[in-house]
Amino acid sequence: MSGVVALGYASSWGAALVRISPYTFSAIGIAISIGVSVLGAAWGIYITGSSLIGAAIEAPRITSKNLISVIFCEAVAIYGVIVAIILQTKLESVPSSKMYDAESLRAGYAIFASGIIVGFANLVCGLCVGIIGSSCALSDAQNSTLFVKILVIEIFGSALGLFGVIVGIIMSAQATWPTK
Amino acid sequence: MYGFEALTFNIHGGYLEAIVRGHRAGLLTTADYNNLCQCENLDDIKMHLSATKYGSYLQNEPSPLHTTTIVEKCTLKLVDDYKHMLCQATEPMSTFLEYIRYGHMIDNVVLIVTGTLHERDVQELLEKCHPLGMFDSIATLAVAQNMRELYRLVLVDTPLAPYFSECLTSEDLDDMNIEIMRNTLYKAYLEDFYKFCQKLGGATSEIMSDLLAFEADRRAVNITINSIGTELTREDRKKLYSNFGLLYPYGHEELAICEDIDQVRGVMEKYPPYQAIFSKMSYGESQMLDKAFYEEEVRRLCLAFEQQFHYAVFFAYMRLREQEIRNLMWISECVAQNQKSRIHDSVVYMF
């Protein structure tokens, strides 16, 4: 990247990018982590919920079992909250002379990346679990032996969010700001 | 976008789709039909039906039951389900559901006009109309003398108005013209419905295109067979075929010149899906054709439920219920007239 090498070349795009405060990136990362995760969870819950309610009219027995799908979607939002809390504890003040040091930038970018990883992994995980949960409710209403089999698929789907959280936490562990 | 409907379909359609799938679970199975076929009289049928979803509709009927009462009450259940879904639907699902009624409206219009021609009482005809196809001012149809009046007095305010442009003539209404009018209206309706489904896109358009194409082809074959030996000319016959479907356009050219059933069979056997239907019937046997078509239609309708997040399940459910009501009518008639050996001639099993 030309801007990173020639930091003194003040009018290139690369230079503009590295002059953005690392705190901006960190804050955006934390916001995305919680915001997009909750988006995924909500999306999944409404997809499952609408099918579940309609199907439960003709087959009331399915309601209690199929709340598991909603719980899996909700777990996705909880992952987002946990990671956001962890990320915000990584924020430290550095003196303004060191704010644009390479180490500061690295810490900022690490928190940003962690937030994006967790946010988008949880978004697609919530969607996946929601759509499967909807099909699960409809199939359970027709034939109750199918529930456990489809639940296995949902469990695999919800592991996707977990992958995101793991990688996000590993990334954020590298967020060490320069000491004073 | 095809493939991503799962993301947004449930906002407006999730609840109703789940409801319609619940209704589908209440359709009669082969085991139910076997029980019904063992019945000795109509009260037995009523008792067996009371264990199904029809129970609440039939339980208050007094004991000397008629087949028409059974059919009427079962149709009432279909209408209640439909109205419940229609009042909860938003655009574009509500337009889709409205389209399902237009076929019945056309049948009702033709029923009243034919009945008036044969000097029947309007009230009697109104009672025979299908409830899904009723609209205000339907009784005024009895007053019209020719097609232009029919359009100007009544139909211009109904959803059928745009379908009338091809059959506006000043000719008086007689049996032949009424049949031609029915088929022209139905052709315009099918084409309109087809275009609407294409506009919806996604899984709805794919599944509905298949179902409507089959409907169009089936009507083409029926028009051909029914007009063999009548005074309908080849050009007129060709004008009644819809402009979509597997048979369009080459099959239609060949069907227009057919003069007997074996020629029709020759044309249809060139198309693999229809060859399977026609091969089940031996030469010269055309009574089984209706049943073969119904069986094929039911098979395709059941397949529509295999996919989620589209509107074709509503269409499929309505059609399957109508087939079930036809089955019940046949079974009731056979039982009432003590002809139980013929029951299996015309019952189409679904599941």
Share of chain B above pLDDT 90, in %: 40
In chain B, what residues touch A46 (CB-CB under 8 Å)?
Answer: 10-11, 14
Distance CA A48, CA A70 (A): 7
Over residues B249-256, the mean pLDDT reads 88
In chain B, what residues touch A134 (CB-CB under 8 Å)?
Answer: 6, 10, 14, 308
The pLDDT tens digits for B186-220 are 999 999 999 999 999 899 999 999 999 999 999 99
The answer to whether B256 and B275 are in contact (CB under 8 A) is no
Tell me if chain A has a CB within 8 Å of the CB of B4. Answer: no
Per-residue confidence (pLDDT) for residue A3, from 0 to 100: 46
Question: Residue A5 pLDDT more than 60?
Answer: no
Tell me if chain B has a CB within 8 Å of the CB of A176. Answer: no
Residue A7 pLDDT grade (very low, low, confident, very high; cuts 50, 70, 90): low
The pLDDT tens digits for A52-62 are 999 999 999 99
Tell me if chain A has a CB within 8 Å of the CB of B18. Answer: yes
Pairwise CB contact (< 8 Å): B11 & A54: no
Q: Which of B10, B26, B308 sits opposite A50 (nearest CB)?
A: B10
Q: For residue B273, give the nearest of B292, B256, B258 by alpha carbon.
A: B292
Distance from CA of B125 to the nearest CA of A (A): 36
Tell me if chain B has a CB within 8 Å of the CB of A2. Answer: no
Question: Residue B14 pLDDT more than 70?
Answer: yes
Question: Residue A2 pLDDT more than 70?
Answer: no
Question: Residue B261 pLDDT more than 80?
Answer: yes
The pLDDT tens digits for B74-112 are 999 999 999 999 999 998 999 999 999 999 999 998 888
Residue of chain B whose alpha carbon sits nearest to that of A140 = B22
The pLDDT tens digits for B109-155 are 888 888 888 888 888 888 889 999 888 888 888 887 777 787 888 88
Over residues B247-272, the mean pLDDT reads 87
The pLDDT tens digits for B153-195 are 888 888 888 888 766 666 667 777 888 889 999 999 999 999 9
* CA dihedral for B162, B167, B168, B174, sign (positive or negative): negative
In chain B, what residues touch A133 (CB-CB under 8 Å)?
Answer: none
In chain A, what residues touch B10 (CB-CB under 8 Å)?
Answer: 46-47, 50-51, 134
Residue of chain A whose alpha carbon sits nearest to that of B19 = A54
Per-residue confidence (pLDDT) for residue B285, from 0 to 100: 62
pTM equals 0.92
Q: For residue B251, give the nearest of B216, B291, B205 by alpha carbon.
A: B216
Q: Which of A59, A127, A134 sits opposite B14 (nearest CB)?
A: A134
Per-residue confidence (pLDDT) for residue A32, from 0 to 100: 95
Over residues B25-35, the mean pLDDT reads 91
**What's the mean per-residue pLDDT of chain B?**
88
**Which pair of tokens denotes residue B196?**
């609407």
Pairwise CB contact (< 8 Å): A138 & B18: yes
Distance from CA of A139 to the nearest CA of B (A): 9
Quickly tell me which residue has 């239907």 as its tokens: B277
Question: Residue A139 pLDDT more than 70?
Answer: yes
ipTM of the complex: 0.87
Pairwise CB contact (< 8 Å): B14 & A59: no
Distance CA A142, CA B194 (A): 31
The pLDDT tens digits for B276-315 are 888 877 665 666 888 889 999 999 999 999 999 999 999 9
